[in-house]
């Protein structure tokens, strides 16, 4: 049976966490050279768990060694991607694992100040993290001269205001600085010019929570878990018409079919798998046939035609209307656009308007090609990936399930609906 790393213990209390071996990895890291800590994480092949899958140790190494400005570590806990709820689970069940990971990562990059940027709606989680930071400080795991090592670190929990765009790393930095959360033009990249104009590393909650085990047992040990370049374990949040929705930790590389049956419990009685969104709502949709042949790792999901992303698996059954589902996504991304880039600002609203027409039975066949064309012209033409987050689902939904869109355009869809209500008028 697979050894859990992230959900191995459920210890919100510091005493329980220490009793389970907590903060020993931090003690070990502080006895190492900072560059050796980074080297161990590089060796592990840990990749960013927030969605991009970028090698974590490599990201840390981008901090300029000659730069004398203060360095910052920022934890992205702004989990706003529809279908994704694994970071929240990790914070609730094992907050000290995150704090220990933050301390190790801060030591590795030479940061003395760390920020946890947490989603505004996470009131309970914010309070819990703040309490845990205070507990760790009182026990000498944070603050000045941590464990008599000479290393100082303070952690601030910074609550956002509920903007999806602030999950984008540069918009997140703008928000911490007290500005409106608008993505920055890159380059310069945050590793060189980040928070307050200083070198900054931004990592996801799950990424940082994976670090203590890597330091404890070694990068070589971690790299042997998972599947090749997709090393280690990963949290997957699964929602939809399955018997056991929830958050599960598995080794990367597990067949999706096995995950669906053994972990999610299979489809609900009377439901048949129709489609899968494997990495949160911003990635391309897969048909049931495509999903059942893939494994859950970065390379396999990409080969299937989508992305692993944040690991938010959204299951759709044969009762799901794909036009209505896409309309829900379009409404979300149009609403959450910061409005800075014309393709995203105007394209999102245009796509939503056309999908509303189709869903209400008032569209025409030409609307389908127009929606696809708008999405195609949004792709890779914005400062941040939010434009792509709508464009990719739109293009894949239309490509994979075009007959449903054509049926709606011909007035033979799921029944005429009141615009925006989701209720059939028939």
Domain 227-317: assigned CATH number: 3.10.20.600
Of residues 329 and 4, more confidently modeled: 329
Q: Which residues pair with 47 in a beta bridge?
A: 55
Is 296 exposed, middle or buried, given 0-12, 13-18 or 19+ CB atoms closer than 10 A? buried
Positions of CATH 3.10.20.600 in the chain = 227-317
Q: Are 280 and 164 in contact (CB under 8 A)?
A: no
The edge-to-edge listing of strands for the beta sheet with 286-287 is: 246-251, 233-239, 312-317, 273-277, 286-287
pTM to 2 decimal places: 0.94
Comma-separated ranges of CATH 3.40.50.11540 domains in the chain: 14-224
With contact defined as beta carbons under 8 Å apart, do 278 and 309 qualify? yes
Q: State whether CATH 1.20.1440.230 applies to domain 322-409.
A: yes
Q: For residues 271-288, give the mean pLDDT.
A: 97
pLDDT at residue 424 greater than cutoff 70: no
Burial call 66-105: b when 16+ CB within 10 Å, e when fewer: eeeeebbbbbbbbbbbbbbbbbbbbbeebbbbbbbbbbbb
Classify domain 14-224 by CATH architecture.
3-Layer(aba) Sandwich (3.40)
Which regions of the chain carry the CATH code 1.20.1440.230? 322-409
The whole-number pLDDT of residue 419 equals 40
100-124: pLDDT as tens digits: 999 999 999 999 999 999 999 999 9
Residues 6 or more apart in contact with residue 308 via CB below 8 angstroms? 53, 230, 234, 278, 279, 296, 297, 298, 301, 302
Q: pLDDT of 120-161, one tens digit each?
A: 999 999 999 999 999 999 999 999 999 999 999 999 999 999
Distance CA 379, CA 400 (A): 18
Structure tokens at 58: 């490599």
pLDDT of residue 1: 58
Question: Which backbone phi and psi does 233 adopt, to 5 degrees?
Answer: -105, 165
Residue 172's region, left for phi above 0, alpha for psi from -120 to 50, else beta, is alpha
List pLDDT tens digits, range 296-344: 999 999 999 999 999 999 999 999 999 999 999 999 999 999 999 999 9
Over its C-alpha atoms, the chain yields an Rg (Å, rounded) of 22
Mean pLDDT of 58-85: 96
Contact call for residues 226 and 246 (beta carbons, < 8 A): no
């Amino acid at each position: 049976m697979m050894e859990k790393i992230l959900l191995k213990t459920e210890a919100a209390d510091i005493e329980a966490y220490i009793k389970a071996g907590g903060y020993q990895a931090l003690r070990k890291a502080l006895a190492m050279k900072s560059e050796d800590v980074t080297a161990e994480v590089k060796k592990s092949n840990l990749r960013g768990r927030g969605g991009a899958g970028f090698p974590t140790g490599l990201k840390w190494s981008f901090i300029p060694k000659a730069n004398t400005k203060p360095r910052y570590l920022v934890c992205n806990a702004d989990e706003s991607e529809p279908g994704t709820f694994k970071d929240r689970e990790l914070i609730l069940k094992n907050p000290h694992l995150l704090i220990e990971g933050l301390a190790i990562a801060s030591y590795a990059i030479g940061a003395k100040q760390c920020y946890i940027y947490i989603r505004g709606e996470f009131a309970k989680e914010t309070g819990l993290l703040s309490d845990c930071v205070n507990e760790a400080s009182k026990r000498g795991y944070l603050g000045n001269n941590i464990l008599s090592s000479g290393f100082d670190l303070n952690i601030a929990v910074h609550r956002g205001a509920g903007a999806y765009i602030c999950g984008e790393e540069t918009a997140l930095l703008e928000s911490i600085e007290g500005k409106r959360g608008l993505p920055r033009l890159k380059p310069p990249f945050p590793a060189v010019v980040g928070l307050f104009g200083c070198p900054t590393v931004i990592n996801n909650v799950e990424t940082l929570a994976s670090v203590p085990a890597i330091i404890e047992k070694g990068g070589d040990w971690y790299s042997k878990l998972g599947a090749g370049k997709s090393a280690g374990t990963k949290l997957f949040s699964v929602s939809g018409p399955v018997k056991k929705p929830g958050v599960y930790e598995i080794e990367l590389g597990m067949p999706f079919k096995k995950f669906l049956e053994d972990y999610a419990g299979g489809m609900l009685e009377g439901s048949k798998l129709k489609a899968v969104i494997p990495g949160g709502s911003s990635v391309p949709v897969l048909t049931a046939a495509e999903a059942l042949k893939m494994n859950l790792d970065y390379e396999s999901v990409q080969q299937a035609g989508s992305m692993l992303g944040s690991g938010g698996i959204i299951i759709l059954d044969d009762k799901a209307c794909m036009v209505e589902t896409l309309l829900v996504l379009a409404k979300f991304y149009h609403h959450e656009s910061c409005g800075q880039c014309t393709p995203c600002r105007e394209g999102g609203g245009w796509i939503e308007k056309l999908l509303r027409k189709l869903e209400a039975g008032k569209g025409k066949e030409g609307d389908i090609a127009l929606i696809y064309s708008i999405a195609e012209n949004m792709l890779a033409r914005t400062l941040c990936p939010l434009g792509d987050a709508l464009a990719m689902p739109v293009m894949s939904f239309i490509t994979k399930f075009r007959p449903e869109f054509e049926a709606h355009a011909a007035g033979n869809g799921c029944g005429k609906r009141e615009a925006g209500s989701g209720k059939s008028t028939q």
